[in-house]
Structure 1
Amino acid sequence: MTLKRLSAGGVGSSTVHLPVGDWTTVLDCLCARFPAIDRDTWLARMARGRVLDAAGLPIGPAHPYRAGLRVHYFREVPAEPRIPFVERILHCDEHLLVADKPHFLPVMPSGEYVEETLLSRLARQLDNPHLVPLHRIDRLTAGLVLFSTAPASRARYQALFRSREIHKRYEAIAPALPALEFPLRRATRLVPGEPFFRMCEAPGEANSETRIEVLERRDALWRYGLEPVSGKKHQLRVHMAALGAPLCNDPFYPELDGRHRREADDYARPLKLLARALAFRDPLSGTERQFRSALTLTF
């Protein structure tokens, strides 16, 4: 059986197949499987029709438990913060959407963000529950994000990223590096650091590479052009910090500061990193496609 993806307001549901157990109701099973979500929260979701069976029909508190039952539910975050910046659609056709993401807005629902994400906003705006990002950029990074708008052609575009056939270009503002000669190449091994959400360079064979050039020099700060050959987490931020030029307003590198917590977001101090351009040969039409962000980084 092929299941149509369910949505609420354009936002796709999460799905769980109930495990083997001795629960009486679906509600009992969900409470045991997700201990961080209390029973009253599940009851409230059920009352609003936000817990569904495989056919898309509402599941109530008395619905009998059955191992293997497919249950769809919609994540909610109480008092989710409103991010006061607006995304912009630069291109949209039957296969692709290109959006300009503002700083601070996550691409995908995760953790404390569900509705206030680029995917959720665009899915609601276009009424397209099949919208899927083909890649991601950090919440604190601004710029281009490419989405698939149709499941039938999605794999062709995803393959471009796996085979590194997408040319990505970033801009950043960071301290001057007058002692170095540009353009230069930074190739190092990146591994998880401490805390868990940071990355760090480590000895060993390189698994990341960035090409770096200087676009503009202004006394103590320069504008850099960054081209990631690989796509490791936080790669550009780690490489620049390792060179001695951490990106302006970076709360993670070279050291953590208080702004790594969401409640400490300072909207007047965005991370000076912008996904400026994307270029690739379209796998369907064979034409060369180029997209450029309309956003800018200011010194």
Structure 2
Amino acid sequence: MSRPTRILLPTRDGVSASTVATPPGPWATVLDFLCERIPAVAREDWAQRMARGEVLDAQGQAVPPGAPHRAQTRLHYWRSLPFEHRIPFEETIVFQDAFLVVADKPHFLPVTPKGRYLHETLLVRLKKRTGIDTLVPMHRIDRETAGLVVFTVQPHTRNAYQGLLRDLRVHKTYEAIAPWREGLAWPQRRISRLAESLHFMAMHEVGGAPNADTLIEVMAVSDMRAGPRLAHYRLTPRTGQKHQLRAHMNALGLPILGDQIYPELQPALPPGQAPDFSRPLQLLAKSLRFTDPITGEARAFESLRRLQLPEGPPTCPQPCARDLPPTPR
């Protein structure tokens, strides 16, 4: 049996179409199916969207509210939110060519649409700004993390670029502000196995074969007169597990400043409440480099954003990461 032809649907205000498969079931109409499969959207809202031609079938034709349910096909629709808080920080494009767009993301801005965020995401903002509907993130960083994110432009090159991540051929460095602990030897190399904990979203170290490897170096330490001592760290992940840097720092007893998950998960904001932008996570995706799989060029990018220790002349133990070149893989 031949596969159904995939149609290319335009974005609407920077938002790409979502797709849902239609399995066999008891639904009399497409409207019945959508209401049960995606209950977060009210039935009246679905009916209005369908009446406006905002739900399409596999061939890209509008599906009216009374259309009968058909199994083993696809439906396309554009996600929308009744209200979305503006994230008052701007991204910067640091590089763009025919193959890549590299953005310097602010704290609090999600990379892709999810949950309460749709238009206020890096992907949708960049699609609107560049007019490139085919942008797809080559990798992702947490909403709370600032710094570099690379997007691919052309669908036929996407797998080659994402393969760099799968094969660990992208060298990344991050910076973080976290507590300072006397008695730890530097640099630290944390090699452990990370797995999801019983607490929602959090990762923790468990026994078993290691799957996470991070080099941690000290760049500077705050003056004792500036309050509780903090340090500016450089983090070089050699693997790419979820929350790897945050979990490894927490395992050392050095949770990153502003972290809402480690060491203790903070309550989520009630629906509709404006986000709190007063305590950004002090984690920055500072640089990345790789050999371009399409052009063969050496690519190197660096964030223009900075993390700062509290006021006071910083000190730095020896060896000091700020005096050393980036550690090669």
Question: What TM-score range do you get, normalising by the shorter chain?
Answer: over 0.9
For residue 16 of structure 1, report the CA deviation from its aligned partner: 1.4
C-alpha distance in 1 between matches for 2:267 and 2:74:
41
Q: How does 1:226-245 map to 2 (within 5 A)?
A: 226-245=235-254
Identical aligned pairs, as a percentage?
Answer: 49
C-alpha distance in 1 between matches for 2:93 and 2:270:
29
For residue 75 of structure 1, report the CA deviation from its aligned partner: 1.3
Q: Give the aligned residue type for 1:69.
A: T
1:266 corresponds to which residue?
276
Partner SS state of residue 29, structure 1: helix
C-alpha distance in 1 between matches for 2:256 and 2:53:
45
1:3 corresponds to which residue?
7
**Larger displacement relative to structure 2 (252-261 or 119-128):** 252-261
TM-score by length of 1: 0.94
User: In structure 2, which of residues 274, 284, 288 is the aligned counterpart of residue 278 of structure 1?
Assistant: 288
Q: How does 1:137-152 map to 2 (within 5 A)?
A: 137-152=141-156
Partner SS state of residue 238, structure 1: helix
For residue 113 of structure 1, report the CA deviation from its aligned partner: 1.2
For residue 72 of structure 1, report the CA deviation from its aligned partner: 0.3
**Larger displacement relative to structure 2 (46-55 or 70-79):** 46-55
Q: Are the aligned partners of 1:5 and 1:129 in contact in 2 as well (CA < 8 Å)?
A: no
Q: How does 1:176-187 map to 2 (within 5 A)?
A: 176-187=180-191
**Larger displacement relative to structure 2 (31-40 or 278-287):** 31-40
Partner SS state of residue 7, structure 1: coil
User: In structure 1, which of residues 166, 171, 176 is the aligned counterpart of residue 175 of structure 2?
Assistant: 171
For residue 261 of structure 1, report the CA deviation from its aligned partner: 6.9
Partner SS state of residue 3, structure 1: coil
Aligned length: 299
Per-residue CA deviations over 1:202-253 (Å, capped at 9, x if unaligned) read 1222111100101112131110000011111111011111111110111111
Q: Are the aligned partners of 1:259 and 1:265 in contact in 2 as well (CA < 8 Å)?
A: no
Q: Are the aligned partners of 1:251 and 1:260 in contact in 2 as well (CA < 8 Å)?
A: no
**Residue 248 (str. 1) matches residue 248 (str. 2):** no
**Residue 18 (str. 1) matches residue 22 (str. 2):** yes
Q: 1:36 to 1:258 in 2, by over 3 A?
A: closer
C-alpha distance in 2 between matches for 1:124 and 1:248:
33
**Residue 161 (str. 1) matches residue 165 (str. 2):** yes
Q: 1:268 to 1:247 in 2, by over 3 A?
A: same
Partner SS state of residue 279, structure 1: strand
C-alpha distance in 2 between matches for 1:50 and 1:173:
46
Per-residue CA deviations over 1:93-138 (Å, capped at 9, x if unaligned) read 1110100111011111111111111111111222222110011000
TM-score by length of 2: 0.86
C-alpha distance in 2 between matches for 1:64 and 1:257:
45
For residue 63 of structure 1, report the CA deviation from its aligned partner: 2.2
Partner SS state of residue 11, structure 1: coil
Task: Return 5+ residue gaps in structure 1 as ranges.
Answer: none
Q: 1:110 to 1:232 in 2, by over 3 A?
A: same
User: In structure 2, which of residues 61, 70, 76 is the aligned counterpart of residue 57 of structure 1?
Assistant: 61
**Residue 77 (str. 1) matches residue 87 (str. 2):** no
Q: Give the aligned residue type for 2:91.
A: E
**Residue 257 (str. 1) matches residue 266 (str. 2):** yes
Task: Return 5+ residue gaps in structure 2 as ranges.
Answer: 224-228, 310-329
Q: Give the aligned residue type for 1:248.
A: L
Q: Give the aligned residue type for 1:254.
A: P
For residue 45 of structure 1, report the CA deviation from its aligned partner: 2.1
Larger radius of gyration: 2
C-alpha distance in 1 between matches for 2:38 and 2:269:
27
Per-residue CA deviations over 1:168-223 (Å, capped at 9, x if unaligned) read 10000011123112112001111111322111111222111100101112131110
Q: Are the aligned partners of 1:172 and 1:273 in contact in 2 as well (CA < 8 Å)?
A: yes
Q: RMSD across aligned C-alpha pairs, in angstroms?
A: 1.7
User: In structure 2, which of residues 212, 215, 221 is the aligned counterpart of residue 211 of structure 1?
Assistant: 215
